[in-house]
Structure 1
Amino acid sequence: MKKWLPLLFVLFFAQSARAQFETTKDSVVQLYGVVMTADSLVGIPAVSITIKGQNRGTISNSQGVFSIVVLKGDVVEFTHVSYKTKVVDIPRSLVGNQHSVVQLMVEDTVYLPATIIRPRPTPAQFERDFVKTKVPDDDIEVARQNVSVAKRRVLMQNMPLDGSEATSQQFRNVANRAVYAGQLPPQNIFNPAAWAEFIKAWKRGDFKRKSD
């Protein structure tokens, strides 16, 4: 009995796969037809025919004719930029594997808000507005502003030290501590150079409160 078990399993799975294949084969439908305008019955080219919920579809040709493979129970959507969207349900009880559709589409009219264009009242007003119009800076002017002294000073104050500068600063701090080991370091309040730098910074406005 044991030696017949593998054969029974193989026969069972083969029968199940065949039944599933027959079911899938019966549910496949070739959907074809033509998309036309509802008022003049003219074929509409470039209509998107897609299956909802899937990344699969096709478009109609220059005469509005299309063909696509779907499954019974699928929902097919017809969309076009100039027409209202239409939806077609493929019935599950459809007999056979072919289904034809003549899909009529209605134009979708889009109304834009009214725009009123008025001329300038006088040439003097046009000249005044033209002179006061702010022209955006070109690339050369933007580059010139970026390399100005004031802009570079602000960037230098807010830019952190790189690796080499941080290492040099640390070495200077260690050297200063070693020089003044065991005694108080000198106070900059009596340093004329420090006072000169303080006065320059005051004149530049470095200590002014910056507005948010």
Structure 2
Amino acid sequence: MKYCVFLIFFVFSLSAFAQNKPIQDKLIQFSGIITDIDSANVIPYVTITNLSAKDTRVAADYRGYFTFIVNPGDTILFTAIGYKKFSTIVPLGTPDNKYTIMVKMTSDVINLPTVRVFPWATTEEFTREFLTMKIADDDLAIAKKNLSKSSINGLILTLPRDGGEISSQNYRYNFDRLINKNMVQTNPLLNPFAWSKLMQQIFEGDKSRKEN
């Protein structure tokens, strides 16, 4: 009788073990996309850790997409810099060998207190530096200095001539040469009327000196 009871108990144990073992050994393709919960933008390169498989780690790609093999009931942890940790459990009753999830992570914002940095160690040092400080000119004063006569003359002497100025000068030179091309300029040394006028001025000068 004892052997019969032991045999029945052993058969029920094997059947229960046979029912649970396929669920534990079942492999599932776990895939999904990781996005921001506020903006719906993808979060790239998130670290994904399978806590139930000796902390096996994988990483999402630049599009926030991931896919790897898990078992039913595994605990999956998602971590990224600037975001709070997110964990999920793969359901045991997955009907097929694929499980897809949309992971939405919340940004972890840390507000730091405002820090003001002063270059002066004491108030006396600040007062001394402030009194000896030379206040810069405003825009109007700077414009007046740049448009002053001395500043413009200095720029004329130092700045090279640009293409527009050279072109304008060449245009004026060619125009003057075109206007005066029919005018003949004579040499006064070869003009007899000029010599006659000169001699007349000399004689009149000698006559006036004699009268004086």
TM-score normalized by structure 1? 0.45
Q: Which has more radius of gyration?
A: 2
